[in-house]
Structure 1
C-alpha cells in the first residue's frame, strides 16, 4: 500500500539487521485462541485482516506477526513458481536499471513475499515495503533478505500508506509490484486503482495467494459446504471481493492492456502442519459463525471434531488460492 505524498518514508540500512527486537519471540497465544489475522478479531466490528482504508478513528486491526510466521512456510510452498519464468523473461528485457530492480511490495506484513521472491530473481534489487502497520514494517525491514539469486545486493526501505491512494506517480521507477494475500481484502474500486497504477507505470504485478473460495477437507463432513459458504459470504462483506478478487483483477488488468496469467497456489496441509491447520480452522469457522450466528451451536461441535482429528494427525486440508501475474503492454516499461 502506498501514498503518493507519504512523509513517513523510512529507509533502512544494512545496520538495521543488528540488535533489533524480534516480535516473533513473544509467547504463543493461549490454546484455543485465534491469532489476529487467522479469524475474526476479538473486538466487535474489527476486521480480521489489515485494514487498507482510513475509515474511522478506531485503531486499525492488523495481522499478528505470529500468524504471518505460522503461515509463511505454507505460503512459500503454495506460491506458483511457474509464474516466475514469464516474469524473469519480462524483467530480462528491460534496459539495465540503474541501481537494480525496484520492487514495491504492497501490504508487506512481515516481509514474507520478499524473503520468497528476492532470492529467486537475479540482479541487484531495491525493495520498497508498504504497509499501514509500523510494527509489521519494522519486522519486515529487519528480516529482509540481503542477496538475490546471483548474489547481487538486495536493499530495502519502508513506507506507510494506503492502497486506495495508489497512483502511477507512486510507482515512478518501479519495475515490479508484488503483494501476497492482498487482492481478496480489496474492493472492486481498489483493484481498479491498483491495475491503473501498474499500467500507468508500465510495470508488471505478481499478486499471490488470493482466496479461491474452495476448501477440500479429508475426511469429509456434512457441514463442510455450509461452513465454506458462510465463510465466503464473510469474505465478501462490506464490498470486499473475497473469492471474486482474481476474476475482477484479471478483468481490470486485461482492460488496461496487460497479459494476465493465473495459476493455482493451494495450501496442502497435513499432519506436519497441525498448528497452522488448527489456527486456520478456528479462524475459518469463526468467520463463518460471525457471518451466520445461527450456525454457532452446530459449528462449535463441528470445530471440536475437526480440531480433534487435526491433533490426531487424521485431518488433511487443501485450501485453494490463486496467483496472478499481469505483464504490461510490450511497449510499456518502467523508468
Structure 2
C-alpha cells in the first residue's frame, strides 16, 4: 500500500496500481506545495523549451499537474519500469494552460540505475510519492544523477497520520505501518518516512541546497473512496508487519472502514515536497 512507487517493478498488479494512482490524483494535486513553483520558474530556461524528466512517472499525473503551471514549450520524458503504466501516460498527456506545445516521450527504465548522462538534457527532474520506496543507496544514486539541475520531489511521506475522530488503536497501527515502510524487500532496506531527510542530506553533500514544504493530504467526505482505499492498505501493511495486531485490528478495521466509506472519517497524511537547486 505504499504512498510510493515500486522501483523494482515486481510487487504490484498494474491494473490495481493504475486504479490507485487515478484515485489519488486529485488529492495529490490539491496537496502539492504550490509556493515552490515561483523559485522553480526562475531557474527554468527563458523561452524554452523546458525538458522535464519525470522519474517513476506512473500514469503521468505529475505532468498533468505541473505542465499547466510552467511557461513556454515543454518536452516531458517519462521514466517507469511498467510499460502498462507508460501506455496509460501516453494516452493522457499533459497540456499547458496557455496553449504552448507539450510533447511526451516514455522510457522504460529502472530509475534507481539512472545516471547524470541519462538526464543530461533535463531542465528539471521531477518525481512524486517516490522516495519512501527507495533505499539509502538508491537515494544517493538518484541525487547524484539530479544534483546539477533543478529537482522537484513531491509527496514524500514523513510518518505522521492523524485520523478523526480519534481511536485508541490509531497510534499502534501507525507505528506498525511506519515500521513496514522501513522493511527489507529482496535484500533492499527501504527508507520509508526517513527518506526525505536522507534526500536533503544527500543533496547537501553535493553542495546543493533544498527547500522543503508541507504537502499533506486532507481527506474528508468528498474523498471517501480514496480514504477507504488508503485505510485498507494502511491497516493491511500494519498487520503484515505485526501479525499480533490481527485480533485487535479486526473490529477496529470494520469500524474505521465503515466510517471512511460513509465519509465520516477525516484523514490527514503528512507529506513533504522538496525543491533542490533553486535557491
Give the alignment's TM-score, normalised by structure 1: 0.78
* Alignment partner, residue 237 of structure 1: 183
1:218 and 2:171 correspond: no
Deviation at 1:243, TM superposition (A): 0.4
Check conservation: 2:32, 2:155, Cα contact below 8 A: yes
Which of 55, 71, 89 aligns to 1:122? It is: 71
Which of 156, 172, 177 aligns to 2:104? It is: 156
Which of 39, 61, 76 aligns to 2:12? It is: 61
Calculate the aligned-residue CA RMSD, in Å.
Answer: 1.7
1:288 aligned counterpart, secondary structure: helix
* Alignment partner, residue 273 of structure 2: 323
* Alignment partner, residue 208 of structure 1: 154
1:1-335 counterparts in 2 under 5 A? Answer: 38=1, 50-53=5-8, 59-62=10-13, 64-91=17-44, 94=45, 96-97=47-48, 100-146=49-95, 148-199=96-147, 202-238=148-184, 239-327=189-277
Between the aligned partners of 1:113 and 1:279, the Cα distance in structure 2 is 21
* Residue range with higher mean Cα deviation, 60-69 or 216-225: 60-69
1:152 aligned counterpart, secondary structure: coil
Between the aligned partners of 2:101 and 2:92, the Cα distance in structure 1 is 15
1:108 aligned counterpart, secondary structure: coil
Deviation at 1:95, TM superposition (A): 5.7
* Alignment partner, residue 23 of structure 1: none
- Residues 21-55 of structure 1, C-alpha deviation per residue, up to 9 Å, x if partnerless? xxxxxxxxxxxxxxxxx46xxxxxxxx9643237x
Check conservation: 2:8, 2:81, Cα contact below 8 A: no
Could you list the runs of 5+ residues in structure 1 that have no partner in the other structure?
1-37, 40-47, 331-335
Could you list the runs of 5+ residues in structure 2 that have no partner in the other structure?
none
Between the aligned partners of 1:312 and 1:60, the Cα distance in structure 2 is 30
Q: Number of residue pairs matched?
A: 273
Check conservation: 2:114, 2:142, Cα contact below 8 A: yes
Between the aligned partners of 2:262 and 2:106, the Cα distance in structure 1 is 42
2:257 aligned counterpart, secondary structure: helix
Check conservation: 1:122, 1:149, Cα contact below 8 A: no
